Amino acid sequence: MSMLNRRTLLATATALPLVAINRRPANAAEFSYKFANNIAATHPLNTRATVAAGKIKEATSGRVEINIFPNSTLGSDTDTLSQLRSGAVEFFTLSGLILSTLVPVAAINGIGFAFKDYDTVWKTMDGKLGTLVRGEIAKRGLYAFANQWDNGYRQMTSGVKPIKTPDDLKGFKMRVPPSPLWTGMFTSFGASPTSINFSEVYTALQTHVVDGQENPLATIDAGKLYEVQKYLAVTNHMWDGFWFLANKRSFEALSPEDRVVVEREMNAAALLERADVAALNNSLTSKLTAAGLTFNTTNPADFRTALKSAGFYSEWKGKFGPEAWGTLEDAVGSLA
Task: Return the number of other C-beta atoms located less than 10 Å from residue 336's C-beta.
Answer: 14
- Which of 60, 95, 250, 298 touches ligand X2X (CB under 6 A)? 95
Q: Which long-range contacts (CB under 8 A, 24 or more apart) does 270-274 make?
A: 270/48, 270/145, 270/147, 270/148, 270/149, 270/244, 271/147, 272/44, 272/48, 273/44, 273/45, 273/48, 273/49, 273/149, 273/150, 274/118, 274/122, 274/149, 274/150
Contact (CB, 8 A) for 147 and 270: yes
- By CB under 6 A, the count of residues binding ligand X2X is 9
- Of 157 and 298, CB closest to ligand X2X: 157
- Of 72 and 124, CB closest to ligand X2X: 72
Is residue 250 a contact point for ligand X2X (CB under 6 A)? Answer: no
Is residue 155 a contact point for ligand X2X (CB under 6 A)? Answer: no
Is residue 177 a contact point for ligand X2X (CB under 6 A)? Answer: yes
Window 259 to 318, contacts with ligand X2X (CB under 6 A): none
- Of 217 and 261, CB closest to ligand X2X: 217
Please name the helix (run of DSSP H) or strand (run of DSSP E) that holds residue 163, with its range, or none. Answer: none
Is residue 215 a contact point for ligand X2X (CB under 6 A)? Answer: yes
- Of 95 and 147, CB closest to ligand X2X: 95
Is residue 226 a contact point for ligand X2X (CB under 6 A)? Answer: no
- Which of 198, 243, 244, 316 touches ligand X2X (CB under 6 A)? 198
- Of 110 and 166, CB closest to ligand X2X: 110
Contact (CB, 8 A) for 246 and 309: no
Alpha helices (H) along the chain: 3-15, 18-22, 44-59, 77-86, 96-99, 118-125, 128-138, 180-188, 201-206, 217-222, 248-252, 256-290, 300-309, 312-332
- Which of 46, 72, 100, 151 touches ligand X2X (CB under 6 A)? 151
Whole-number minimum distance, CB 219 to ligand X2X, in Å?
Answer: 5
- Of 59 and 102, CB closest to ligand X2X: 102
3-class SS at 195? strand
Is residue 38 a contact point for ligand X2X (CB under 6 A)? Answer: yes
List contacts with ligand X2X (CB under 6 A).
38, 95, 98, 151, 177, 198, 215, 219, 240
